[in-house]
Amino acid sequence: MLRICLIFVLMLPLAAAASEEISGPVRVVDADTWDVGGVRVRLHGIDAPEMDQTCQSREGADWSCGVWATDKVRRAYEGRTARCRPLDRDRYGRTVARCEVAGEDVGRTLVEKGLAFAFRKYSGDYVSQERVAMAEKSGLHSGTVQAPWLFRAAGGAAKAPSDCRIKGNISAEGERIYHVPGQRHYARTQINPKKGERWFCSAAEAREAGWRAARR
């Protein structure tokens, strides 16, 4: 009995540390993943589009909804102070936490504004807010969007072949433009082979195929 009590006492500081509040300035990694005071946090109860995910507007045009959601969240919260209550740890080692900024439940706000979905697999906390956002066609719900968990299950967007990272994209005007990693629009540029878009292994290969370099 004494040994069991001793083990329990030794475990108490670990349990307390796991539940300690995290606070500090926000750095937005993507819409549902932040660094808070240097700790990587996955926001509890929500799921936002992946950075390489595209959606369709109500007019049927493709748009980079993952980049859009992240930009919106970054403008609203980057550099502000968040207070987060850890709830769990996910398989990537991130702290799953409920976070507040200026007393506002961030998960609730993002779902209300249509910047994220209620992640029903793990929580029912924001289901009512999602229903309102869908009824009002707020944010992502203004067009056609695939739930992020379904997008990931389907394998996400087209992936680059090994060592061939240059994106050959066809603009709305039909111009063939290649984007090199590090350029301004590289991350948000999507490749759709069905439209004739492709990956290149070098800039020289792209130019020889008739594609021009992106200007920035």
Tell me: the pLDDT tens digits for 115-133? 999 999 999 999 999 999 9
What mean pLDDT do residues 36-57 have? 92
Instruction: Give yes or no for residue 63 having a pLDDT over 90.
Output: no
Q: What is the CATH number of domain 20-153?
A: 2.40.50.90
- Answer yes or no: are the C-beta atoms of 116 and 31 closer than 8 Å: yes
Beta-bridge partners for 83: 23, 100
pLDDT at 157: 59
Q: What is the pLDDT of residue 202?
A: 86
Helix H or strand E segment including 23: strand 22-30
Does residue 11 carry a pLDDT above 50? no
What mean pLDDT is predicted for residues 108-113? 98
- Count CB atoms within 10 A of the CB of residue 151: 20
Distance CA(171)–CA(190), nearest Å, equals: 11
- Rounded CA gap, 97 and 35, in Å? 11
DSSP 3-state of 161: coil
Task: Name the token pair of 118.
Answer: 């209620």
The pTM assigned to this predicted structure is: 0.67
Helix, strand or coil for residue 101?
strand
Residue 132, phi-psi category: left (phi > 0), alpha (psi -120 to 50), beta (remainder): alpha
Q: Is the pLDDT of residue 8 over 80?
A: no
Strands 95-101 and 33-36, by their bridges, are unpaired
pLDDT at 204: 87
All CATH 2.40.50.90 domain ranges in the chain, comma separated: 20-153
Where residue 96 falls among pLDDT bands split at 50, 70, 90? very high
Confidence label for 53 from pLDDT (cuts 50, 70 and 90): confident
